[in-house]
Structure 1
Amino acid sequence: MKKTPLIFSLLLALTCISFRLSAQQNARPANFNEHNLFSAGVASSFIAGLYDAWYPYKQLKQHGDFGLGAPDQVDGELLLFKGNLYKTQYTGKTIPLADTGKTPYALACFFHPVKVYKHSGTLNKTAFYNYLDSLLSNQNGIYAIHVSGKFKLVKARAFPPAQKPYLPLAEMLDKQHFFDHADMQGDMIGFRTPKFMEGPHIAGYHFHFISADKAFGGHVVDLIAEDITVEVDPLTSYSLELPQIAGFERFDFRKDRKEEIKSVENGKKQ
């Protein structure tokens, strides 16, 4: 008789777990793919000035637990890591974000690394990207990349809130705030997308950083890595949600914005 309450409790717990898993699965889109890169918005229209948030964070987290993007009005830098949202403010401080807000542009996937590499020794930015290139053999593949370990230097940046009428990001580079994070343990969350995705996405590498204590971060402009672990998740598809805002309906995609995207990514005029 003494075992009956215990058995009942176990059955109740299993029922609750099953219900939660079912609810999570039902919350995901019908075309859900765990190896998919999801994009809320179009990179080229975002960097050209479509900064008003429209896509809910709650919906973004249905498409992934790993990613990056921008907060409303480009007010800092956005990072999604292990299912948690973080925002690096233009002051350099990083804070956790509730999922009640919205984003004008973000990328997300469910991160399931299939390969892990360890590198000992110093790598500057160029050497680091060359190292990644040696690991990622499919030049037309999409990769989600998590880099963790010790960094001698991470130079990061964030923008203050943009003011209307919005200027393209490439014309706001003088408003960037840069931060040098030295001798710090942390994580870089990012992607490498191929050339054929240029425009809707930022082709090449794109990383955001967060310190191990979650106090510092930002968009990575430069780095010196020391001892790092690289986890790689090859993605097999991508999907895109078009912005549901008036500015997107009138946006002219005929202009070539490749140089603008490079300038914004590197934090300086090309």
Structure 2
Amino acid sequence: MASRSTLLILCYFLSNHLFAQTSKPNHLYTFGHASAFIGGLYDAHISYEQIKPYGNFGLGAPDKLDGEIVIFNNKFYQTQSSGKTFEVKYTEKTPFVIINNFKSDQTINKTGPFTKSQLFQFLDSVLTKKNGMYAIHIKAKFAFIKTRAFPTITQKPYPPLAQLLPLQHFFASQDIEGDLIGYRLPSYMEGANITGYHFHFLSNDKTKGGHLIDVILNNMTIEIDELDGFSVFPPPTEAFQKFDLEKDRSSEVKAVELGKKN
């Protein structure tokens, strides 16, 4: 029979084996579960240190909903409800992140101006596979951009995110340069992921960010990375195991993405 110390080493290896792997090219990794997160599971369960081997590009949320997260060029940035934006320590944890190793398959230059709806219409004309998975990086000069972040939520039971819309903080900037980091994901990924377009912003000087609400942009360079697979690692928590995943939260997701009720 194996010794107690041998069993402990084996358990440690098994529990950490996932995070010792290297990421696959053209692959999206989801840590957490979007519907569960939007439904109120804001407690972090995985560190950025564990996530970072899986990519250099992505977005997510901080522990207890303290703002918004963007991953760009191998670094993790947080924008709090105060508007403060900063690079986070890898020891911090998150309840939800999607990430991939970004490698552009296609680059497009456009002068604009483009509103948010015009941008999405143009992207739809380029991203021709209805059921394709795309990571999208847009570097641009922004005539106007509006973003948002939620404040920290500490009192349990946590309400669903759509009920917290009155608490979100908005930030507006004009004549600013920066990057949009985001995805267009197909409907069959609904639930574990947020489908459709989802972008977060990061200014060139790394002092402004947040979830994209509205925009007018010019002189943009669009880089597209077409993905061919995805993996989901749900929260290893008792709260997730008890969470009702059968409830249709599509209207809540839409309200949260737009920053307002329909």
TM (normalized to structure 1)? 0.88
Structure-2 residue corresponding to 1:9? none
**Which residue identity is paired with 2:49?**
K
In the alignment, which residue of structure 2 is the partner of 1:149? Answer: 140
* 1:17-54 per-position Cα deviation (integer Å, ceiling 9, x unaligned): xxxxxxxxx99654731211000011000000000000
**CA deviations over 1:227-269 (Å, ceiling 9, x no partner):** 1000000000000111011210100111100000000111000
Partner of 1:100: 91
Distance 1:130 1:79 in 2: 24
Which of 63, 66, 79 matches 1:75?
66
Aligned positions of 1:221-260 closer than 5 A: 221-260=213-252
SS in 2 for 1:269: coil
Counting aligned pairs with the same residue, the percent is 44
Output the CA distance in 2 between the equivalents of 1:167 and 1:186.
33
Asked if 1 retains the 8 angstrom alpha-carbon contact of 2:23 and 2:55, the reply is: no
What SS does the aligned partner of 2:255 have? Answer: helix
Tell me the equivalent position of 1:128: 119
Aligned partners of 1:125 and 1:81: how far apart in 2?
21
**Kindly tell me: are residues 30 and 61 of structure 1, through their superposed partners in 2, closer, same or farther at Cα, counting changes over 3 Å?**
closer
Match of 1:212 in 2: 204
Question: C-alpha separation between the residues in 2 aligned to 1:31 and 1:159?
Answer: 32
Partner of residue 117, structure 1: 108
Whole-Å separation in 2 of the counterparts to 1:96 and 1:147 = 20
Which residue of the partner structure matches residue 44 of structure 1?
35
Give the equivalent residue in structure 1 for 2:4: none
Q: Is the 8 A contact 1:58 1:99 kept in 2?
A: yes
Give the Cα separation in 1 of the matches to 2:21 and 2:74. Answer: 20
Q: Which runs of 5+ in 1 are unaligned?
A: 1-25
What corresponds to 1:182 in structure 2?
174
Hey, what does 2:258 align to over in structure 1? 266
* Equivalent residue, structure 2, for 1:194: 186
| Contact 1:27/1:62, CA 8 A, preserved across alignment | no
Alpha-carbon distance in 2 for matches of 1:241, 1:130: 32
Cα distance in structure 2, aligned partners of 1:71 and 1:30: 24
Work out the CA distance in 2 between the residues paired with 1:27 and 1:267. Answer: 35
**4+ aligned runs moved over 2 Å, structure 1:** 26-32
2-structure distance, mates of 1:61, 1:105:
13
Report the residue type matching 2:161 in the other structure.
Answer: L
Structure 2: which 5+ residue stretches go unaligned?
A: 1-16
Look up the equivalent residue of 1:167 and give its one-letter code.
P
Is this contact kept in 1: 2:30–2:233, CA < 8 A? yes
| Conserved 8 A contact 1:46-1:104 | yes
Give 1:54's aligned residue.
Answer: 45
**Do the aligned residues in 1 keep the contact of 2:23 with 2:53 (CA within 8 Å)?**
no
Query: What amino acid is aligned across from residue 34 of structure 1 in structure 2?
Result: P
Tell me the SS of whatever aligns to 1:174: helix
Amino acid at match of 1:188: L
Alignment partners' CA distance in 2, 1:186 and 1:223? 12
| Letter in structure 1 aligned against 2:243 | F
CA distance in 2, matches of 1:227, 1:28: 39
Matched AA of 1:52: D
- Summarize deviations over 1:148-202 as a string: whole Å, max 9, x none: 0101111000001012221100000000000001110000000110011111111
Alignment coverage as a number of residue pairs: 245
Question: Which has more radius of gyration?
Answer: 1
Contact 2:62 2:94 in 1 (8 A): yes
SS at match of 1:255: coil
